[in-house]
Every structure is written in structure tokens, then in C-alpha cells.
Amino acid sequence: MEALELKAEPRQVVKRGIKDLRRQGLVPAVIYGKNVEAKPVQVNARSLGKVLSVAGTHQLISLQVGDQKAHMTLARDIQRDPIKRNYLHVDFYAVRMDEKVTAQVPLIIEGVSPAVQDLGWVLIQGLDQLEIECLPSDLISAIEVNVESLTELTSSIAVADLSVPDTITILSDPESLIVQIEPPRKVEELEALEEGEEEAAEVSAEPEVITEAQETED
């Protein structure tokens, strides 16, 4: 899997001026790693968004800072605004191509389960990503989970059932269920239970009381 390319520039602004930096369409970032001195950098927000939409935290990014030699990196600790969803800060971990790394890889459901299509059961997905370990050059964009073998009620696929290249080690619990076939009634009961828990949380939640002493302190 080829690395995605991204350009960055050295960043002089460290704390003060970060908001102005973002208003200019730039995202503060840091590049660090083994035998790599941590360096503050800044990246074009639009270019960063395009790269991260593909790379996530599991695909190599060739990060070139100014005219320096590009670093092979993985995006780590991606911070986004909870409302606007724009990027606030990103850490880039500089990898060594001869040392293994860990990454969270997404799971992609492939095919149609006969139990769902023919019998009307429901496919429940328990995991949407797995943690793997491998050399940077052996990283994969996703792991496919084919559900065409799920033909009966309670049929399931666990992490241990997956087939991945020998160069990759799955670190996630092998007994964890990825998908399972359940009856529609059970699904409705789970949804009702979740709604009940949300209502209970709303009832029990109390607004914060700001005392006169607190106002004085603030």
C-alpha cells in the first residue's frame, strides 16, 4: 500500500496565535518518533482533510516538512472540533520501516447473509475496527468480513475466524464477536432498553449549581 503525500511547514507559533493560525486555514501539528526530535509544524487544513479521509490512523503518510527529506508517518491523536468537525491538531508519528507498529484498521462487511435476506433475521455488528501489528510496509487499508456464511440464527463471526496475511498479527481479543445473527424481537428489546437508559439519565441529570463563592472565584 503506497503512502499518501502531505506537505507541511515549520511552525513558529506554539501557544499564542494558534487561533489566528487556524483562521488562516492552517492546522497545528507535531511530528515525533524514535530518534526523531519533536518538531512543531503546520499543515494546510484542506490538504490534511483529504489525506486523513483516506489514511485515518492506519495508512502511511509521507510528510515533507519544507525542503527536508520526507518522513514516513502515521497520524496519531487526531483532534477535531466536536461541532464543526474541523481539525484542531494532529500528531504525526515518524515510523521506522524495519520496526513493527500498531494500528487500528477498519472492518468492512462484504456480501449478504442468507439468514438476513431469506429468513428476515437481523445482522448485529459488534466491532467496526481491529488493532493489528506489523511492519509499516505491510499495513492494510481494511479487513473484509464476508457474511455469506451466516445462514442460521445465532450464527456469528469472531475475531479468531478472520483470515489475514501472515505478516499481520491481530492484537484484538480473538473471542470478540464481529457480527452475529439475531431475531428482530431481540433487536427491538435492545433498542427499548437503550431508550429507557437514556430517559433515566435525563431524569437523574441535575444542572450545575453555581454558588456565590464560585461566582466570586470565577
3-state secondary structure of 217: helix
Q: Are residues 107 and 184 in the same domain?
A: yes
Q: Are residues 30 and 109 in the same domain?
A: no
What is the dihedral sign for C-alpha 162, 168, 171, 172?
negative
Please give the helix or strand (H or E) that residue 116 lies within, else none. helix 114-117
Q: Is residue 195 part of a domain?
A: no
Q: Is residue 205 part of a domain?
A: no
Q: Render pLDDT for 93-146 as a digit per residue (tens, 0 to 9).
A: 999 999 999 999 999 999 999 999 988 899 999 999 999 999 999 999 999 999
Within a 10 A sphere around the Cβ of 147, how many other Cβ atoms? 22
Burial of 45 (0-12, 13-18, 19+ CB in 10 A): middle
What is the strand order of the sheet 129-134 is part of?
143-146, 101-110, 129-134, 169-170
Q: How much is the pTM?
A: 0.76
Q: Are residues 122 and 67 in the same domain?
A: no
Q: Is residue 217 part of a domain?
A: no
Winning range, highest mean pLDDT, from 138-142, 185-189, 202-206: 138-142
Please give the helix or strand (H or E) that residue 193 lies within, else none. helix 184-204
Dist. CA 208–CA 137, nearest whole Å? 51
Within a 10 A sphere around the Cβ of 74, how many other Cβ atoms? 24
Q: Is residue 169 part of a domain?
A: yes
User: Can you read off the three cell numbers belonging to residue 194?
Assistant: 437503550
Q: Are residues 128 and 85 in the same domain?
A: no
Question: Which domain range does residue 117 map to?
Answer: 101-189
Q: Is 66 left (phi over 0), alpha (psi -120 to 50) or beta?
A: left
Domain of residue 158, CATH code = 2.170.120.20
Q: Are residues 86 and 10 in the same domain?
A: yes
Q: Is residue 207 part of a domain?
A: no
Average pLDDT over all residues of the chain: 87
Q: Are residues 37 and 106 in the same domain?
A: no
Q: Is residue 171 part of a domain?
A: yes
Least confident of 80-84, 94-98, 116-120, 212-216: 212-216
Number of domains in the chain: 2
